[in-house]
Amino acid sequence: MASLDALINSLDGIANTLQLDTSIILIKERVKIVQVLQHRLMNSGTDGNDNLIGGGQYADMTIRHKLFTNQTTEHFTLFDQGNFHKGMFIKLDGDLALITSSDGKTGDLISRYGEAILGLTEEETEQVIKLWVDPKLQKEINKRLPNIIRL
């Protein structure tokens, strides 16, 4: 009976460390995860809900500036000088991993276009989990399991 209790306690220990392990993985993979968001912004101009940001229509003056700087005018990219994109990082808040930006315009952009501009779509979230989180989390679990089974 004692070894069964020890096994249960060990498994509980693994379960309790999964959140920390996941947080560490997200921080290690932060560049790739942020690039998923940046890629969507640059290529489709949609937010995390798949809605076109700002209706996708630039003002005439902005179109002239974008054409002059060789940027797309087809949709909003939230990239002018690049500070918003360059400032993007992952912020951990309890069970949540949020993408934000250190750029001074971030608050204004969120007020204007909504928090979803910094969110991943459901499909992107699934892709991140499948490609980068699950495999590394499984490795962490596999490292700990042999110690438990030897009880």
**How is 30-70 classified by DSSP, letter by letter?**
HHHHHHHHHHHHHHT-B-TTSPBGGGG---HHHHHHHHHTT
> What is the residue-averaged pLDDT of the chain?
90
Closest CA to 48 of 30, 70, 33: 33
pLDDT digits (tens, 9 = 90+) for 85-110: 999 999 998 878 999 999 999 999 99
> ∠ CA(133), CA(139), CA(144), 5° rounding?
130
Largest CA distance in the chain: 76
How far, in Å, CA of 67 to CA of 144, rounded? 55
pLDDT digits (tens, 9 = 90+) for 28-68: 999 999 999 999 999 999 999 999 999 878 889 989 999 99
